[in-house]
């Protein structure tokens, strides 16, 4: 079984956990402590939210500043257009910032926001029966 762990630096772990909890995410306590939180996206997909000092122990060089450039696009699929809208609305209400406006491509709908640390999250819904061939 293959798994993916996306690692993101965060300034305030408790505030970041509260932000993502308000979006409906939960955490795996087995891989969480005062320096890190393992946010569960799906069974085999987790996002490790790491305090800056702890994140530095895993990298060479500097932590990218999302205010100066985009270091990664975190794209998540949703079950419906309404689920996309709902999660973006919760993110904005919880302190996130609008990033790009909603885009309706007919067969795919997407909308994005920046979390409270400036990381970009793109949410999308694609109707499998409408995907162009």
Tell me what the pLDDT averaged over the chain comes to: 95
The CATH classification number of 1-58 equals 3.10.180.10
Interval 43-55 mean pLDDT: 97
pLDDT digits (tens, 9 = 90+) for 57-89: 999 999 999 889 988 999 999 999 999 999 999
Give the separation between CA 125 and CA 96, rounded to whole angstroms. 20
Measured in degrees and rounded to the nearest 5, phi and psi for residue 4 equal -130, 135
Looking at residue 128, its pLDDT comes to 78
Residue 132 has pLDDT above 80, yes or no: no
Answer whether residue 1 shows pLDDT above 80.
yes
Q: Identical fold at 1-58 and 70-133?
A: yes
The CATH code of the domain at 70-133 is 3.10.180.10
Q: Show me where the domains of the chain are located.
A: 1-58, 70-133
Cβ–Cβ < 8 Å for 122, 110: yes
């Amino acid at each position: 079984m293959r798994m993916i762990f996306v690692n993101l630096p965060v300034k305030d772990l408790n505030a970041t956990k509260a932000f993502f909890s308000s979006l409906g995410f939960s955490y795996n306590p087995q891989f969480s402590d005062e320096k890190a939180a393992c946010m569960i996206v799906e069974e085999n997909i987790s996002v490790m939210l790491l305090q800056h000092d702890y994140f530095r122990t895993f990298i060479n060089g500097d932590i990218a500043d999302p205010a100066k450039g985009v270091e990664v696009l975190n794209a998540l699929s949703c079950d419906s257009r309404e689920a996309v809208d709902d999660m973006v609305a919760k993110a904005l209400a919880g302190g996130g910032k609008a990033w790009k406006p909603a885009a309706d491509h007919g067969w795919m709908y997407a909308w994005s926001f920046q979390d409270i640390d400036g990381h970009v999250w793109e949410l999308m819904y694609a109707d499998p029966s409408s995907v162009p061939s």
